[in-house]
A and B are shown apart, each in its own frame.
Chain A
Amino acid sequence: MTRVRLTDHLVLILGVLLMMGPLVVAFLTSTHDHVEIHREGMQFTLGAEFAETYATVLTREGGFTGEITGLLMTQNSLILGIGFAVGKIVISMLAAYAIVYYRFPLGTFFFWVIFSTLLLPLEVRILPSYEVAQQLGLLNSYTGLIVPLIASATGTFFFRQFFKSVPDELLEAARIDGAGPVRFFFEILVPLSRTMIAAIFIIMFVVGWNQYLWPTIMTTEEQYFTLVRGIKNVMQQMIGADIPFYNEALAMAVLAMLPPAVVILVFQRMFIKGLVEQEK
């Protein structure tokens, strides 16, 4: 028995090294001077330039136009992450409410239309989606960044499942207590869904924050760049440079992964619940 546990611990420790190692190395390297990195390779110790590098990345007005700072990108990432999560939750809940609690002729049809979005991931319709957004004048706007992403079959299915599990008698009791559709939704159903909403919010925030393809084609003006979107530009600048600013690129990477990582760490239970439930 003891021997088995030892093997398990060994496997897990190797696993942790595999998963966390690259992140730790990335962070450690980002605290060194770029010339030193260029000369000696990635670093395995903490360097002296932590404060300086991160301050530079956060506040320097960089890019081609000199308008964008790390802070602004962080702010854009937050807007995207929160807007994406809130938007998805709101429209999924409304749609699921209609599908579960109303009997209407086209109910099944709408269900299948929502289902069809599973068949059309952004990646397979990227060009025409861009054209549509362009025609609607949505390029370089928060609306254009967020709204096209928030239609969600998984979110709607998730809330549909949850609403279906709410006992019929609760609605009946509420009707006897004089609650109409609107009151029932806001005073009974939404409070009942609180933990579900929180779990989905956490997942969706991470997914939204990590969006890459759509922001890449939708935003060409740097003031709308998110951190994840900005990574690409950092990369392009590095390729051109004699001695690339590895430290700053890695600092950007660390900044881009930190908020979702913290969210997952703090709300771990809820995150796992949301992730596992949502895919069912």
Chain B
Amino acid sequence: MTTLRIRDAVKRYPNGVEAVKGVSVDVGDGELVVFVGPSGCGKSTLLRMVAGLEEVTEGEIELSGRVVNALEPADRNIAMVFQNYALYPHMTVRGNLAYGLRNRGTPKPEIAAKVEEAARMLQIAEFLDRRPSQLSGGQRQRVAMGRAIVRDPAIFLFDEPLSNLDAKLRNQMRLEIKKLQRRLGRAAIYVTHDQVEAMTLADRIVVLNGGRIEQVGTPTEVYSRPASTFVASFIGAPPMNLVDAQLDDDGLQVAGQVVAHDSAHRGPVTLGIRPERAHLVAGGAGLDIEVAVVEELGAHRLIHAHLGGHEVTVAQSADEPVPAGRMVLSFRPEDLHLFDRGTGVRI
């Protein structure tokens, strides 16, 4: 079954700016879908359209089988966790959790039970009578999630919920969100600009750029078969090396060197290779490069090298000997990605 269906959604502002230019996505039952992209790509707008906080200019939002375009946010059976939490500062934690239920006319004993249960699940039971200002960032984050959980929604909407936390807490909460979502078994959309969050959390990733979808797929698919140079450079850290190349009858022409390649395609292309899939060897088949800078990162290191006029990055284990001077960049043919140089689309 499908919980949410977004069909050809368009958001056009009165000043003519199009933030979302016709997007269609389905979110299955219990599925966690991550919208990822740089700022201004339309991911938050799309999420807010699902929430009912932005009007849908064209297209349809269908939730649990009914079109909700005209419904108020409160009537949509959704719950949202905001980037800055948006807790009501004058209410206690209990009041924050209960507010939505009270407004729906839920009977008091039921509210109390739901609040207690959510508080226990999130380990915030001891803070129920405090106000948000008396809580730490991580605790506020939990309260914001609690407020979403008590609503028992058809779908959870997360709008960059971890960006206000420090790195350590962020990793911890990321894991907790995933566990919680699995446990509740509800569909969720998670918006982020952080590709690590996207990769670790998602069942499926939707990569957005300029109001359009670049690619939809599982984290593995998006990582190993990026649909465009945009996705290739956005997903993965450090980003994929992209180098101008030319395909002809001899193979791939790269910076005055030739590598054998069996593609039928001919013409200018962009060659992509992930830093962690490239190897530096003393000699043999590959591309000649000149090592420039070596960055030690503990368990592994990054090597920045010159390939003709391009700079390429290679990641290797710190156990290997430190490379220097002229080396050969070697790789497996299946680790090469080829994109059309004009459109950026995968070949």
Direct contact between the two chains A and B in their complex (CB within 8 A): yes
Cα distance, A183 to B104, chains bound together (Å) = 12
Residue of A nearest to B88 (CB): A188
- Which A142-199 residues have C-beta < 8 A from chain B? 167, 169-170, 172-179, 183, 187-188, 191-192, 194
A167 touching B86, Cβ below 8 Å: yes
B74 touching A177, Cβ below 8 Å: yes
B260 to chain A, nearest CB (A): 56
Cα distance, A63 to B135, chains bound together (Å) = 61
Residue B293 is within 8 A (CB to CB) of chain A in the complex: no
Q: Which residues of A contact B80 (CB under 8 A)?
A: 172-173, 176
Residue B83 is within 8 A (CB to CB) of chain A in the complex: yes
28 A-B residue pairs with Cβ-Cβ distance under 8 Å, sorted by A, are A167-B84, A167-B86, A172-B48, A172-B51, A172-B82, A173-B80, A173-B86, A173-B147, A174-B88, A174-B99, A175-B52, A175-B72, A175-B73, A175-B74, A176-B52, A176-B73, A176-B74, A176-B78, A177-B74, A177-B100, A177-B147, A178-B75, A178-B100, A179-B74, A179-B99, A179-B103, A188-B88, A192-B89
A191-215 vs B: 1/0 string, CB under 8 Å?
A: 1101000000000000000000000
Q: Which residues of A contact B247 (CB under 8 A)?
A: none
Main secondary structure of the interface of A (DSSP, over half): helix
- Of A175, A178, A187, which one neighbours B104 at CB under 8 angstroms? A178
- For B48, B85, B87, B103, the residue with the greatest tally of chain A CB atoms inside 10 Å of its CB is B103
Q: Which residues of B contact A191 (CB under 8 A)?
A: 90-91
Cα distance, A248 to B311, chains bound together (Å) = 93
Cα distance, A79 to B91, chains bound together (Å) = 33
- Of A170, A175, A178, which one neighbours B88 at CB under 8 angstroms? A170
Name B's A-contacting residues (CB within 8 A). Answer: 48, 51-53, 72-75, 78-80, 82-91, 99-100, 103-104, 147
A192 touching B74, Cβ below 8 Å: no
Q: Which residues of B contact A170 (CB under 8 A)?
A: 86, 88
- Of A167, A169, A177, which one neighbours B103 at CB under 8 angstroms? A177
Q: A172-B73, A172-B80 are in contact. Are A178 and B103 (CB under 8 A)?
A: yes
Given contacts A173-B86, A175-B52, 16 further A-B contacts (CB under 8 A): A167-B86, A172-B48, A172-B82, A173-B82, A173-B147, A174-B99, A175-B73, A175-B74, A176-B53, A176-B79, A177-B147, A178-B72, A178-B100, A183-B103, A191-B90, A194-B90
10 tightest A-B CB contacts, nearest first = A177-B100, A178-B74, A169-B86, A178-B103, A173-B86, A191-B90, A169-B82, A176-B73, A175-B73, A177-B99
Q: Which residues of A contact B79 (CB under 8 A)?
A: 176
Residue of B nearest to A170 (CB): B86
Cα distance, A3 to B239, chains bound together (Å) = 65
Cα distance, A179 to B72, chains bound together (Å) = 10
Residue of A nearest to B54 (CB): A172
Tally of A-B residue pairs with Cβ under 8 A? 61
Q: Which residues of B contact A187 (CB under 8 A)?
A: 99
Q: Which residues of B contact A174 (CB under 8 A)?
A: 88, 99
Cα distance, A95 to B8, chains bound together (Å) = 40
Q: Which residues of A contact B78 (CB under 8 A)?
A: 176
A169 touching B100, Cβ below 8 Å: no
Cα distance, A118 to B235, chains bound together (Å) = 57
- For B48, B51, B82, the residue with the greatest tally of chain A CB atoms inside 10 Å of its CB is B82
Cα distance, A170 to B96, chains bound together (Å) = 11
Q: Which residues of B contact A194 (CB under 8 A)?
A: 90
Cα distance, A144 to B72, chains bound together (Å) = 44
Q: Which residues of B contact A188 (CB under 8 A)?
A: 88, 90
Q: Which residues of A contact B83 (CB under 8 A)?
A: 169
Residue of A nearest to B83 (CB): A169
Q: Which residues of A contact B147 (CB under 8 A)?
A: 173, 177
Cα distance, A238 to B299, chains bound together (Å) = 95
B73 touching A169, Cβ below 8 Å: no
Residue of B nearest to A166 (CB): B89
A176 touching B90, Cβ below 8 Å: no
Cα distance, A174 to B89, chains bound together (Å) = 12
- Of A167, A176, A179, A183, which one neighbours B51 at CB under 8 angstroms? A176
A182 to chain B, nearest CB (A): 12
- For A172, A176, A192, the residue with the greatest tally of chain B CB atoms inside 10 Å of its CB is A176
Cα distance, A167 to B88, chains bound together (Å) = 11
A103 to chain B, nearest CB (A): 10
B77 to chain A, nearest CB (A): 10
B103 touching A172, Cβ below 8 Å: no
Residue of B nearest to A169 (CB): B86
Q: A176-B74, A176-B100, A177-B100 are in contact. Are A192 and B82 (CB under 8 A)?
A: no
Cα distance, A188 to B79, chains bound together (Å) = 19
B162 to chain A, nearest CB (A): 15
B318 to chain A, nearest CB (A): 44
Q: Which residues of A contact B52 (CB under 8 A)?
A: 175-176
A39 to chain B, nearest CB (A): 61
Cα distance, A174 to B100, chains bound together (Å) = 8
- Of B75, B84, B104, which one neighbours A169 at CB under 8 angstroms? B84
Cα distance, A170 to B52, chains bound together (Å) = 15
Q: Which residues of A contact B74 (CB under 8 A)?
A: 175-179
